Amino acid sequence: MDDSRFISSAEALPTPFTTICEAPSNIALIKYWGKSAPQLPKNTSLSFTLDSSITRTALNFTPQKSTSFSFEFYFEGVLKPEFNPKLEAYFNQIRAYIPWIENYHLLIKSQNSFPHSSGIASSASAMAALSVGLMEMERKLTPSLSETACSEKASFLARLGSGSAARSIEGPLMLWGKTEYLKKSSDYYAIPLKADINPVFTTYQDTILLVDKGSKPVSSTQGHQLMHKHPYAAQRFKQAKNHLKELMPILKSGDLAGFMQIVESEALSLHAMMMTSKPYYLLMKPNTLAVIEKVWNFRKETRIPLCFTLDAGANIHLLYPLADKKAVLELVESDLKNYCNQGDYLIDQVGRGAKKV
């Protein structure tokens, strides 16, 4: 694809502009693990967009005389200059696509709905909220931009900040990466899966067990890097492709046994890649494994379709239909919360994506 379609030719306006946007986190069912520059995935991924695990970002654009962009970043009310190098690098990557930004000073004020240091990766919701806010400004400068064009460019901009952030723009299911199963799919941005989704998946629940709140010994950026010379990389990309092929009809039929089998296999394969990288590493904790066994036992005993998935970390996402919420939350309260750091967990569900507040 030629990404020139994302280069704006809008002229900056001499008036200030403020917008507040919210974007959720997302949890991958088919994992993205391995990429090539510029942040293009080695395989197609598919995720549930979450609902209440969100970042809310206020953007305040002030026109400035000098034609050199500047910004300030506040997180939860506190000026955070330590984030500037990362943001600077991000703006350098995207300024070619939003040249109008050169004429503004940007004040960014962000906050998360989920607790600080919960072990929940906030880069997806943070980069998505920022990108949607930038697109609100571009929409003001280019009123003829369609909703779809705005969403696709927001996803495109978010992807350049954090790959998985591309999937936090819409919902409840987002697909990122070119695949033969969807003509409109792209490596450059994510698109919502709209047609033929079984209703069971439109209200799916995600309860996030906070097993470990500490920082990870190996970041996702390093993990992606290690896929370059990974002995099983080619096989892993093939597996993800096959899993997607199997999952597409399941999302339509609502075959929950098939769904759980693919989702759990994806989670364990992701961690298997980490354990077989050079150097190898481990992000699961003993309590992660203890909970996985509990989930399997509960499923066997009750026949309730509860399954798990994992991000690049020790925390567990419990995925289950809305109809089973009571039974699963009883299990969490009576047993699984004992495996969580300070007994903490978050109750979330699939959501519809980013929005203007």
Interface characters, 171-190, with ligand PMV (x: CB under 6 A): --------------------
Residue 169: is it exposed, middle or buried by C-beta count within 10 angstroms (0-12/13-18/19+)?
A: buried
One of 112, 113, 164, 168 touching ligand PMV (CB under 6 A):
164
One of 110, 113, 162, 168 touching ligand PMV (CB under 6 A):
162
List of residues 6+ apart from 142 with CB closer than 8 A: 8, 10
Other Cβ atoms closer than 10 A to 116: 11
One of 8, 19, 25, 45 touching ligand PMV (CB under 6 A):
45
Question: What is the rounded end-to-end Cα distance, in angstroms, of the chain?
Answer: 33
Integer Cα distance of 30 and 48 in angstroms? 10
User: Kind of pairing, strands 70-75 and 104-112?
Assistant: parallel
Smallest gap from residue 225 Cβ to ligand PMV (A):
10
Smallest gap from residue 224 Cβ to ligand PMV (A):
6
Amino acid occupying residue 283: L
Integer Cα distance of 206 and 271 in angstroms? 20
Integer Cα distance of 309 and 348 in angstroms? 14
Widest CA span in the chain: 68
One of 28, 87, 262, 307 touching ligand PMV (CB under 6 A):
28
One of 6, 32, 73, 308 touching ligand PMV (CB under 6 A):
32
Interface characters, 108-147, with ligand PMV (x: CB under 6 A): ---------------x------------------------
- 103 or 162, CB closer to ligand PMV? 162
Part in contact with ligand PMV (CB under 6 A); list of ranges 14-22, 149-157, 162-170, 348-356: 162-170
Residue 61: φ, ψ to 5°: -100, 120
According to the binding rule CB under 6 A, does residue 49 interact with ligand PMV? no
One of 31, 42, 139, 317 touching ligand PMV (CB under 6 A):
31
Part in contact with ligand PMV (CB under 6 A); list of ranges 79-87, 161-169, 184-192, 284-292: 161-169
List of residues 6+ apart from 292 with CB closer than 8 A: 308, 316
Please give the residues from 56 up to 115 whose contact with ligand PMV meets the rule CB under 6 A.
none
Integer Cα distance of 245 and 249 in angstroms? 8
One of 206, 266, 311, 348 touching ligand PMV (CB under 6 A):
311
Tokens of 70: 């500047």
Binding site for ligand PMV (CB under 6 A): 28, 31-33, 45, 123, 162-164, 220, 224, 270, 311-312
